[in-house]
Structure 1
Amino acid sequence: MKWEYLTTRQIDAIDRNIPVFLNIAAIEQHGPHLPVATDALIGAHFLDRLDDALTDTVLVLPQIKVCCSRHHLDFPGTLSVKHATFLGYVTELLQSVVDAGFKRIVIVNSHGGNQAIGQVIVEQFGADNPGVTIGLVTWWTLAHAELVAVNESGPFGIGHACEFETSLIQHIAPHLVQHPIPQELSYVHTYPWAEGDMLRGAQGSMYRSMREISGGSGVVGNPAFASAAKGERISTIVVNRLITVAQTLGG
């Protein structure tokens, strides 16, 4: 069920133990071939499919599209808010959900730049609301084990506007993909302890702008291995994991 499409009476009649899902995404550059809405399209797609699968046993909040993308601001089209702004906005939004009596919340993240502040939201909101279950899942970590088997581009091939994200947009919104699609690996190396990709986490963290890590291309990884069929496979894997999350939280 989509929160914004229900009447106040319909919402009032819902079991307050229902899992409530919120996607946090991004509007930011995704190389020369993908739309700036890539992360938002992917996050909305996953929750649409979750809603289709579980119908009246999940409640989906309105998506938050513009989030924390300051490291992409060198590229036109990127929109961003400060971490403190995002923290306050999401916390107040979720507080209204809890004030309405709902007790089980899952934040579904579809943008790497949201991970750190997303964890802060979970820790702060959870401490401030005893008795409320709140969690955060990022789609590529949630389905990590299965996605490793899908990856063909190898180390550093999965990052941004890459094999996976390009495949997903080819599946979700092929009319928005611009050709030609980049056909080579784009990744600027740095210290070994600070290197990794979506499936192979770094040992530590170090700030680099997207212009720095991509060498100015806006792409981190290798989109040459992308396909619509692979995007459909990734979608099925991730949605199945989200269904499991919802079912474990269901009242």
Structure 2
Amino acid sequence: MNAAPPLRLAEMTTEEAATAVTASPVVIIPAGAFEQHGPAMPLATDTIRAEGVAERVAAALAGRAVIGPPLPVGVSPHHLAFAGTVTLTTTTLAAVVREYVESLYRHGWRKVLVITGHGGNNATLSTVAQDLLTTHPGLQFAWTPVTPLAADVVSGMGVSEVHGHSGEAETAQMLHLAPGLVHTDRLTAGTTSTAQLDPLSRLSRHGAHPALVVRYDRLSPNGILGDPRRATAEDGQAVVDAVVVRVVAFVKEWLDA
């Protein structure tokens, strides 16, 4: 019995990659970050989540998509007050994404999907998508966040009034995808209510007002938004499964368009 073809370009020979251009017309690029995730989770949390989703999406597409090179460092200046955080500027990330895409385009791929586990990458990916409409009109470039795709599942988890980074949803996903990297004995609550935020920090929260970006050490002394002690692996699986189903449905429709 023949083994299943590799899902990752990194594991292919150059001959296999040449064949994959036709057989697997979508390249999925997992994008994450290298930043603090509180006292209980690793710096690579966002990359691990993006890669976990990418692997499941590629597997569900049964060979019609391959996983390209990851983007393990993202735009994280708002976390630099916490040790270990490494960041790219928006200009650098945009340049790297474009150069990944240009290489793939040169070999014949015309559909690229970036799955980002880090919200700090969103603005840059939007800018790159707009620029590629001019520089590569034959390319179709899509990107998606992870957790926001399952907002309905997250809302049913009983999350805190203030939740997000390193909180219930992210921790739950890690308990499902990489439980050995979560120090459950170190899980602790962070900022869980707007009453804990100073006036400037309150303005940074999403709402019907202009956007304001502040450092995470201003939002939360320990870098956590929410209470990760409430997280379960079962909730994490529900979030990941919902995200995968929705991305797979999009890609199938995209391939048939």
- Aligned to 1:93, the other structure's residue is in SS state helix
Structure 1 vs Structure 2 CA RMSD: 1.9
1:207 partner amino acid: V
Task: Find out whether 1:2 has 2:11 as its counterpart.
Answer: no
Equivalent of 2:172 in 161, 164, 167: 167
| Matching residue of 2:51 | 44
Taking the aligned partners of 1:166 and 1:177, their CA distance within structure 2 comes to 8
Deviation at 1:126, TM superposition (A): 2.4
TM-score normalised by length of structure 2: 0.88
Q: How far does the alpha carbon of each residue in 1:32-79 deviate from its partner, in whole angstroms, 9 at most, with x for none?
A: 111111101101110111122223111111211011111111111111
Of residues 55, 58, 67, the one that matches 2:62 is: 55
1:100: which partner in 2?
107
CA distance in 2, matches of 1:93, 1:9: 19
Residue 75 of structure 1 pairs with residue 93 of structure 2:
no
Per-residue deviation at 1:4? 1.0
- The answer to whether residue 252 in structure 2 is matched with residue 247 in structure 1 is yes
Contact persistence 2:191–2:219 (CA under 8 A): no
Q: Distance in 2 between matches of 1:103 and 1:95?
A: 10
1:190 to 196, 199, 213: 199
> Could you tell me how far 1:224 is from its partner in structure 2?
2.8
2:242 corresponds in structure 1 to 237
| Alignment TM-score, normalising by the size of structure 1 | 0.90
**2:153 matched to which residue of 1?**
147
Shift of 1:150: 2.9
C-alpha separation in 1, matches of 2:23 and 2:224: 42
Spell out, residue by residue over 1:9-30, the C-alpha distance to the aligned partner (whole angstroms, 9 max, x if none). 1121231771211111001000
Instruction: Return the match for 2:95 from 83, 88, 91.
Output: 88
| Contact 1:193-1:202 within 8 A present in 2 as well | no
Q: Distance in 1 between matches of 2:138 and 2:172?
A: 40
Aligned length: 244
User: Could you tell me which amino acid in structure 2 is paired with residue 141 of structure 1?
Assistant: P
Structure-1 separation of matches of 2:148 and 2:98: 23
Select between 167-176 and 13-22 the one with higher mean Cα deviation.
Answer: 13-22
- Secondary structure in structure 1 of the residue aligned to 2:63: helix
State the AA in 1 paired with 2:13. Answer: T
Partner of 1:115: 122
Shift, 1:93, TM fit: 1.1
Of residues 174-183 and 186-195 in structure 1, the stretch that sits farther from structure 2 once superposed is: 186-195
> Is contact 2:112-2:140 (8 Å) kept?
yes
CA separation in 2, counterparts of 1:25 and 1:130? 26
Q: Return 65-74 or 9-18, whichever deviates more.
A: 9-18
1:219 to 221, 224, 240: 224
* Corresponding position of 2:233: 228
1:105-139 residue CA offsets vs partner (Å, 9 max, x unmatched): 11111101111111111111222111211111111
Equivalents in 2 of 1:34, 1:63: separation in Å? 20
SS in 2 for 1:161: coil
Gap runs ≥5 in structure 1:
none
SS of 1:247's equivalent in the other structure is helix
Q: Distance in 2 between matches of 1:83 and 1:2?
A: 26
* Residues 38 and 169, structure 1, Cα contact 8 Å, conserved in 2: yes
Q: 1:149 to 1:117 in 2, by over 3 A?
A: same
- The answer to whether the Cα contact below 8 Å between 2:28 and 2:112 also exists between their aligned partners in 1 is yes
What stretches of structure 2 of length at least 5 have no aligned partner? 1-6
Q: For residue 91 of structure 2, what is the amino acid of its counterpart?
A: A
User: Matched residues in 1 for 2:96 and 2:180: separation?
Assistant: 33
